[in-house]
Amino acid sequence: MSEDVAAETLDRLLAVTLLLGADMSSHLGARGLTESRAGVLHVLGQSGPTTQRTLADALDVAPRTITGLVDGLVASGHVTREPHPTDRRATLVTPTEHGAAAAADLVSGRLELAGQLFAGWWPDRLVAFNDGLDVVLDTLQSLLEEES
Distance between CA atoms of residues 45 and 108, nearest Å: 13
Q: Calculate the CA dihedral of residues 140, 141, 143, 145 and round it to 10 degrees.
A: 160
CB 60 within 8 A of CB 39: no
Q: Which of 72, 80, 94, 105 binds DNA (CB under 7 A)?
A: 72
- 133 interface partner picked from a second copy, DNA, none, CB below 5 to 8 A per type: a second copy
Question: Does the protein bind DNA through residue 77 (CB under 7 A)?
Answer: no
Q: How far is the CB of 71 from a second copy (least distance, A)?
A: 25
Letters for 89-128 (x = contact with a second copy by CB under 8 A, - = none) are ---------------------xx-xxxxxxx-x-x-xxxx
Would you call 102 exposed, middle or buried from its count of C-beta atoms within 10 A (0-12, 13-18, 19+)? buried
Q: Given the rule CB under 7 A, which of 15-23, 65-73, 113-121, 138-146 is the region that contacts DNA?
A: 65-73
Nearest alpha-carbon partner for 71 in 21, 102, 34: 34
Give the number of residues in contact with a second copy, rule: CB under 8 A.
Answer: 49
Residue 82 near DNA by CB under 7 A: no
35 vs 47: CA distance, rounded Å: 19
Q: Which residues pair with 81 in a beta bridge?
A: 93
Sign of the four-CA dihedral 116, 120, 122, 126: negative
Where do contacts with a second copy occur on this chain (CB under 8 A)?
A: 2-3, 5-10, 12-17, 19-23, 26, 110-111, 113-119, 121, 123, 125-130, 132-137, 139-141, 143-144, 147
Where do contacts with DNA occur on this chain (CB under 7 A)?
A: 34-37, 51-54, 56, 61-70, 72, 81, 84, 86-91
